Amino acid sequence: MNRTLLIRLSAAALFLVGAWVAYTQQGKQASNKLNKLKDDLYEIEGDGGNVAFYITNEGVILIDDKFEYDFNDIVDKVKSVTNQPIKYVLNTHHHGDHTGSNAKFLPTAEIISTLNARKNIIEGKQPGAPRVTFTTESDVFLGGKEVRMQYFGRGHTNGDAAVYFPALRVVHTGDLVAGNSPLIDYGGGGSLVEWAATLDGIMKLDFDTMIPGHGPVGKKADIMTYRNNVEKLRTRVTGLVRGGSSKDDVAKVLTTEFGWDPKGLQMTRGLDGLMVELKR
C-alpha cells in the first residue's frame, strides 16, 4: 500500500476518534447498572464499554473505566459492595469509552495495558497512559486471587487484551466481541483478516461466561457465533474487493447485509482499511 495514503488514513482515523470522544462526553451524566456475575465479580453496564471488577481482601481489580464522566459512578458502585480500594485498572484496549477515567485512577491505582494500547493512547493524545505494559501476558495476583491479561493477536485494534478470571471461569473480551458485526479500527492497528484467529486463542481458555466489550453478558458459545460472523464478513468483502467492486458498492453491501450504519463508526473507521487489507 502507498505509504502516504496509509499515513493519511491513520491521521483521519485518529481525528475521528478524537472528535467522537469529545462529542460523546459533552455534558453527559453517568447512567449505569451494577450486575453481580459470580462471587466477588461484578459488571457495570451502560455508558461506553462494559466494566468488570473483582474484589479481593487486598484490594479491587477493575477492568476498563468507561468515560471520564463515569468515574464517580464507577467508584460509587464499587463502594456499594466493598470497602476495599481499587488497586489495579486493566485496560482491554485504548479507546476512550474504555479508558476515559484512566487519568482519574492513575494517582491511586496501577493501570496496565498492552504496549500497543499504550502507544495508541499516547498517539491519540488521550490522558492517563498506563505506567505498566506487556506484550503477550500479564498476571495480577492480589489477595490470593488471579487475573490474567493476554494478547492473542490483532482484531478490533493491534492492542486488545482478553482478561481471564481462571477461578471463576470468566473472560472479558473487550471489543474483540461487541455488537453483531465487528468494528475494525484500522487507524488503531485493527485487522479483519487476523480477528478470527485472535478469537480462537481466547476460545482455548477454560471458561463458561463471557463479558463482551459492549452489550449483555454471554456464554462461551457466543464467541463462536461472533467468530463465524467475522469470517462471513471477511469472505464476502474479500470476494467483492478482489472482484473489483468500488468502495461505494462495498459500503452498500455492508449496510444491507451486515447492518452497518452508513455514517457509523464501523464504516468511518473500517471501510478504507477493508478495501486495502482484503485486496492483498
Quick check: 59 and 140 in contact, CB under 8 A? no
Shortest distance (Å) from residue 252 CB to Zn ion: 25
d(CA 77, CA 100): 17
Q: Per-residue string for binding with Zn ion, 63-102, x by CB under 5 A?
A: --------------------------------x-------
**Near Zn ion in 25-64, by CB under 5 A:** none
| Distance (Å) of CA 43 to CA 25, 33, 71, 95, 273 | 21, 8, 15, 19, 33
Q: Which stretch binds Zn ion (CB under 5 A): 67-75, 81-89, 167-175, 223-231?
A: 167-175
Taking the least distance from each CB to Zn ion, the nearer of 59 and 100 is 100
Residue with cell 490522558: 127
> Is 175 among the residues that bind Zn ion (CB under 5 A)?
yes
Taking the least distance from each CB to Zn ion, the nearer of 59 and 212 is 212
Q: Which is nearest to 174 in space by CA: 188, 190, 156, 192?
A: 156
Shortest distance (Å) from residue 214 CB to Zn ion: 8
Shortest distance (Å) from residue 167 CB to Zn ion: 27
Q: Per-residue string for binding with Zn ion, 107-146, x by CB under 5 A?
A: ----------------------------------------
d(CA 79, CA 140): 21
Taking the least distance from each CB to Zn ion, the nearer of 59 and 213 is 213
Strand pairing class (218-219; 170-178): unpaired
Quick check: 97 and 24 in contact, CB under 8 A? yes
Shortest distance (Å) from residue 93 CB to Zn ion: 6
Q: Which three cell numbers stand for residue 274?
A: 477493508
Q: Which residues bind Zn ion (CB under 5 A)?
A: 95, 175
